[in-house]
Chain A
């Protein structure tokens, strides 16, 4: 059995852990609010962008010569996966959920005997994937230094993807991220960005006749690269809100668990203190009796 001193130390250490988790929870809650606001503010842009592209692509006359970013290369041999994760840990199942989703997809690609390339954004994703998929990772990006999510970072990733696409490094590009639903639930998402899936959303406004200046093709070929950066930016915003939400609930339950543990340890401590006192008393009494 643990001695009284050991128990005392345990209790003190659990208590200080609890203090840390509590503080982290508070910080995450404050950051969450900001991240959530940012994610909501960013939505109109990506929605509008999506709408315009839908309108354009439904109006495009010559499907054969449509920009490759929209129609694809015509092959599906090489898959590029962008895995967006966080740079910091201690956020519950946040990172492992994305990785799990991504790994299921990787497995499918392997079974279909296609080539897989991975770009990780955020250091935690790289840490988890490097053991199994080290040879597949072509690039790892981390925005540890930038304090807030900004569009320039997303644009860097977007440009990298487009450069690779133009050099015919891959045929299909999918991004993985967590969609923020609420503080408790974050849904891991896989979204194909190249070639763009237009069938997902019904073309409800395709009957509108737009005037284009310059012509459709030119607008579309300029817009699509921008759309990729926008989608990545959206994913990054959702991800950061999810990360904070996930961390908040993880730290909340950690604080609660620490509280329970302190209670249990305190009871054990008091019991052994009592036992020691009783033992001493018995010794004194039996000593006195023998006299």
Chain B
């Protein structure tokens, strides 16, 4: 039996990535990392800042996302996000720039608890990348 399923990542401007031969995807869901294999139950969840790992026959790909929604249905995984970057394209400067922004945001006193949690997550992820 085939173990592949389809993934589609879209951002508002365009369809970012579309693949048909994916065997496993790990997404940073709101309540923890979540691995998705073929025939997973239909699910909708949020993303927190983190790394999407896509395993396919052609190898492994990693993407950094800041927010988004995932929907899995009938072996179609859709990821909707407004900010996504291929890790390969991210250099040190870019990462430290994002990190700086996040740190400024995190010390803002008017920030809500939920935002604070997300920003802290972001900082952690960016630090591991750096």
| Prevailing SS type, chain B contact patch | strand
Residue contact B13 to A214, C-beta cutoff 8 Å: no
Question: Which stretch, B4-12, B52-60, B87-95, B119-127, touches the partner chain A?
Answer: B4-12
User: For A51, what are the chain B residues with a Cβ–Cβ distance below 8 Å?
Assistant: 71
Residue contact A41 to B14, C-beta cutoff 8 Å: yes
B: number of interface residues (CB 8 Å) = 23
User: For A38, what are the chain B residues with a Cβ–Cβ distance below 8 Å?
Assistant: 13-14
Which size bracket describes the interface of A in this complex? 20 to 34
Give the contacting residue for A213; candidates B11, B31, B82; CB below 8 A: B31
Residue contact A56 to B44, C-beta cutoff 8 Å: yes
Q: Which of B1-48 contact A (CB under 8 A)?
A: 8, 10-15, 29-31, 34, 41-46
Residue contact B13 to A151, C-beta cutoff 8 Å: yes
Q: How long is the Cα–Cα vector from A42 to B15 in the complex, in angstroms?
A: 7
Residue contact B80 to A219, C-beta cutoff 8 Å: no
Q: Which of A38, A46, A213 has the most chain B CB atoms closer than 10 A to its own CB?
A: A213
Give the contacting residue for B42; candidates A42, A46, A154, A209; CB below 8 A: A209
Q: Which residues of B contact A (CB under 8 A)?
A: 8, 10-15, 29-31, 34, 41-46, 69, 71, 73, 78, 80, 82
12 A-B contact pairs sorted by A residue (CB < 8 Å): A38-B14, A42-B12, A42-B14, A45-B10, A46-B12, A48-B78, A210-B43, A211-B43, A213-B44, A213-B45, A219-B46, A233-B12
Known interface pairs A44-B10, A210-B43, A213-B43; 19 further A-B residue pairs with C-beta atoms within 8 A, sorted by A's residue number:
A42-B14, A44-B8, A45-B10, A45-B11, A48-B71, A48-B78, A48-B80, A51-B71, A56-B44, A150-B13, A151-B12, A210-B73, A213-B34, A214-B45, A214-B46, A219-B44, A219-B46, A219-B69, A233-B12
